[in-house]
Structure 1
Amino acid sequence: MSFIELLYQEEDDAHLWQRMKKGDKEAFDKIYVEHIDHLVRYGHSFTQDASVIDDNIQEVFCRIWQKRSELKETSNIRYYLLASFRNELLKDIRKKKKSVLLWEIFSESSVSFNASLEATIIQKESQEQLHKKLNHTFGKLSSRQKEIVYLKYYNELTFGEIGEMMGLEKKAVYNAVSKAMIILRKELR
């Protein structure tokens, strides 16, 4: 994605968000449609219970619509939604299982990353073999690394956004991605 495309996307997101905040139902629906699949996939990294995921997504969107006029401006709707959904989902999971930590939740899930890098990493292997190999390789990453890689490469969040979302310093996020890439490169050779 070029700088111009990124700039346009941010301006487009900012404009769409502004319309939604003013009560534009079509803008709200567009935000929902454009981001629902990303939220569902992200939710599956925490729990396989589809009803919990759906309930928390609905809670996020209901709250956004109800409090739309009070919301802060954003130029990255996906980041805003992922962060809101993550907070809502973890609050709900903690309420249901008070003693379970985030990293235990994340490591228990069978995260399936449909990495967009598949074709560039190993072009000669079939998709099925590569998928199996990637899942095995991602299993070697820590839970934190899995989540950061997912947010960085699948959802295209910045290091700063990921750090803010996860309560980590930007440098810690960068280091986690760097270490994860070293592991992935080594394992995928």
Structure 2
Amino acid sequence: MVIYSTHKDEELYALLKQGDKNAFMEIFERYYNLLIIYADKRLKNRPEAEDVVHEVYTSLWTRRSEVNIQTSLASYLYQSVRYQLLNIFAHQKIEGKYLKSLQDHVANFSDQADYRVREKDIMELINRQVDLLPTKMRDVFLLSRRENLTHREIAEVLGTTEENVARHITRALKILRTKLGLFLYYYMLFRFR
């Protein structure tokens, strides 16, 4: 019976390439715990470190005929684990950026939704106050603000004078400023349509 524990790494590697399972088991036992410690120090997660090392060994066995080790077997195994760790860190970084982007989008959407609700409430308040204006004054005000008609056009539509239109708009603005307060009054001037 061959004792594999006395073989050098190069000999084990040569036997591994030929498909020798016992050589593979010796390589596994020789480096497994050291690779786990190496991976665990970087990941700080023992089960994940074990998964990484298992992945490296699985790859070594399935690709044994293709693997061409230019350095030592130990160096190859450590580099393989390091490569797997770098993939994990890169994935976590991308995942972190994606989650941050998603959180920003959700927060922005929430802010926009909140803004829209507040804007709707403000517009309802303004519309209620406009509806409380005397009928003729309200008609003049709405033609001016919603229809964007000039004083002359409003006068023609309503059969009145431009001075009368100007007086109705001035009084409407004065009433709304008093009822709405300064902030809502300016909001209405810039947003009301």
TM-score > 0.5, shorter chain as reference: no
Q: TM-score, normalised by structure 1?
A: 0.44
Q: TM-score, normalised by structure 2?
A: 0.43
Larger radius of gyration: 2
User: Larger % of helix: which?
Assistant: 2
Higher relative contact order, structure no. (Cα contacts within 8 Å, ≥ 6 residues apart): 1
